[in-house]
Amino acid sequence: MTRTLPLAASAAALLVFGFAPLALSPYWLSLLTIIFFYVCVGQAWNLMMGYTGILSLGNSLFLGLGGYVTAVLASRYGVVPWIGLPLGALVGAAMGVVIAWLGFRFSVRGVYFALLTIAFAEFFRLLFDNWDYVGGAGGVFLPSLGPDESILLHLRGSGLLFYYAFLVLAAAVTAISALLVNGRHGFFWRAIREDEEAARALGVRARSMKILVVAISGAMTAVAGGLFGLMNGSLFPDSMLGMGMSIEIIIAPIIGGLGTLVGPIVGAFFVVPVTEIANDVGQHVGIFGLNTFVYGVMVFLVIVFLPEGIWPRLRRLATRRQRPDETDGGSDA
């Protein structure tokens, strides 16, 4: 597969989603906004897990830090998000460097690294729960904008604004990921994923490459968290930094297909609507908990019947039909 096809498909998708607000109701736009959000955080996590083989179960930490930096700066000091978001990204990246450096410096790997990330995330959740400066368990609330304040400058307000903000962010995160994984870094990361000792022997500076990918993932997730907080208008430690959020971040890329750029996108487009349908049905029939149950069953079915994810299976079906002699398209995009 050449590079023109993915590029053309991306351009077409951007065009369609760019003009979609003309045709869609606010309900569908908000659904798409959430999907784009999960594309951002899923893509960021996929760089770590899918391409480098670093399992993190604490990515909500980056999300929460980005969200809190942006929101606290805005609500306490009136700092506009255009400054708050990059600062949040810096904090997210710095936290990524700290965790990764500590972890890899002391050769904490695999399951142990995953638990280290959980420990960090839970530590900060409890810290924020008890820290009055950031509102404690009561959370941070962003003041509503005055009539003469600019929506674009303060990034607050309408759903349409966040639809475009998350669309642009999802596209940017995907594009940056594509450039990274198809470039030098991507080859190093995949070499580390396949066999770290061998990669090291070939001269790959494995530890710094791993720290780098965690930092990039942290920065991307933090920006998404900053926008997410602005969109909701309020932030709570449990929803931004909790284990539940970490799990929601990883489910879409795993279901869509790890180690591919399309996987997190396909996963988000699958998981979010199914969650939504489960919520609606649960509310409609008035059975509390039905949504969680349906969600669990769906995740179970996918992991049992499509263990490598939806996208790799689709791609294999498509390529088999076109070129029966080739099993893999050979391109990650």
Partner 1 sequence: MDLYLQVLAGGVLNGVVYALIAIGLTIIFGVMRLVNFAHGEMVVIGMYIGYWCFELIGISPLAAMPVAALALFALGYVLQLTVVNAFISRPHHVQFILFISFALVITGLHMMLFGPTPRGIFSMASFETFDIGPLRLDMTRVQAAAGAIVLMALLFVFLRFTTTGQAIRAAADSRIGAEVIGIRINRVFAITAGIGMACAGAAGALVAPMFDTHPFLAPEFTLLAFIVVIIGGLGSIPGAIAGGILIGIVEALAAVMINPSMKSMFSYALLVLVLLVRPAGLFGAAGGRR
Residues that bind partner 1 in the complex, under the rule CB under 8 A: 49, 55, 57, 102-103, 106-112, 114-116, 118-120, 122-123, 126-127, 129-130, 243-244, 247, 250-251, 254, 258, 287-297, 299-300, 303-304, 307
Whole-number minimum distance, CB 307 to partner 1, in Å?
6
DSSP state of 234: E
* CB-nearer residue toward partner 1: 87 or 238: 238
Residue 32 or residue 278: which is nearer to partner 1 going by CB?
A: 278
Spatial contact of 214 and 13, defined as CB atoms under 8 Å apart: no
In whole angstroms, how close is the CB of 134 to partner 1 at the nearest point? 15
Count other Cβ atoms within 10 Å, centred on residue 156. 20
Q: Give the integer Cα–Cα distance in Å for 49 and 46.
A: 5
Q: Are strands 234-235 and 140-141 parallel, antiparallel or unpaired?
A: antiparallel
Contact 249, 42 (CB under 8 A): yes
What is the tally of helices (H) and strands (E) in the chain?
16, 2
Q: How far is the CB of 127 from partner 1 (least distance, A)?
A: 6
C-beta of 198 vs 247, nearer to partner 1: 247
Measured from the CB of residue 124, what is the shortest distance to partner 1 in angstroms?
9
Nearer to partner 1, 304 or 317 (CB): 304
What span, in angstroms and rounded, lies between the C-alpha atoms of 38 and 87? 21
Q: Which is nearer to partner 1, 19 or 300 (CB)?
A: 300
Least Cβ distance, residue 117 to partner 1 (angstroms):
10
Query: Distance between CA atoms of 319 and 307, rounded to whole angstroms?
Result: 19
* Residue (5 or 137) nearer to partner 1, CB: 137
Residue 287 tokens, joined:
């059975």
CB atoms under 10 Å from CB of 294, counted, come to 17
Of 28 and 293, nearer to partner 1 (C-beta) is: 293
Q: Provide the minimum distance between the beta carbon of 20 and partner 1 in the complex, in angstroms, as a whole number.
A: 31
Nearer to partner 1, 81 or 256 (CB): 256
Is the distance from CB of 235 to CB of 68 less than 8 angstroms? yes
CB of 72 to partner 1, least distance (A): 20
Number of CB atoms found within 10 A of residue 97's CB: 15
Question: Shortest approach of partner 1 to residue 64 CB, angstroms?
Answer: 15
What is the b/e burial string over 181-215, where b = at least 16 CB atoms within 10 angstroms of the residue's CB? beeebbebbbbbbeebeebeeeebebbebbbbbbb
Alpha-carbon span 181 to 219, nearest angstrom = 17
Residue 49 and residue 253 in contact, taking contact as beta carbons nearer than 8 Å:
yes
Report residue 158 as tokens.
Answer: 């309408």
Instruction: Pick the closer one to partner 1 by CB: 159 or 296.
Output: 296
Q: How far is the CB of 258 from partner 1 (least distance, A)?
A: 7
Based on its alpha-carbon atoms, the radius of gyration of the chain, rounded to whole angstroms, reads 20
